[in-house]
Structure 1
């Protein structure tokens, strides 16, 4: 009988929790070379980890036309890993129906509150 071994380096996709915010904030600030978060940080909804390290996250943002979209911020993903994460984020984005995913005014308010809260600490 053949046994399949799972690699400890396997990517894990997960919803974002408050406990993840410091890691996400650091990825964003490093990728944007900023000292403080801005509106482009958005409202994170999905992340990818390898072992216990967060490598990337998808975040809800508003486009210039005030449409809801998502953006990926990452550190150290291969091209294949990034494409795979984008695929997962697109699927998750399409199936969610909560206000932040469908109501631009709600998302705008949520982004402002999130950025203000995270910039305090």
Structure 2
């Protein structure tokens, strides 16, 4: 896991805004997530309902609002507005939203191809 702040991002006009931390020339998938108060993401996502969630690529989480913890391989790391968490391949990860100040996150994956909506017709 890597943790940085939005204020640490370099000024760039080429590629994507996380180019130094999220491999690939493009943002390939992502979304905006509004967690419920106290919610834990990816619970019981593993095979046979086991409680782990991993990827073969990096994933970025940008904390846009609220507070919580990013659980990486069982260890909790506090997160707040302006934090960017880069989850490395193979790291079990869960975002735990604060019960009183739930998180809103932008989650992203990078790669060499573009998102399916950006492919030429």
TM-score above 0.5: no
TM-score (norm 1): 0.26
Q: Which has the larger radius of gyration?
A: 1
TM-score (norm 2): 0.26
Q: Which has the higher strand share?
A: 2
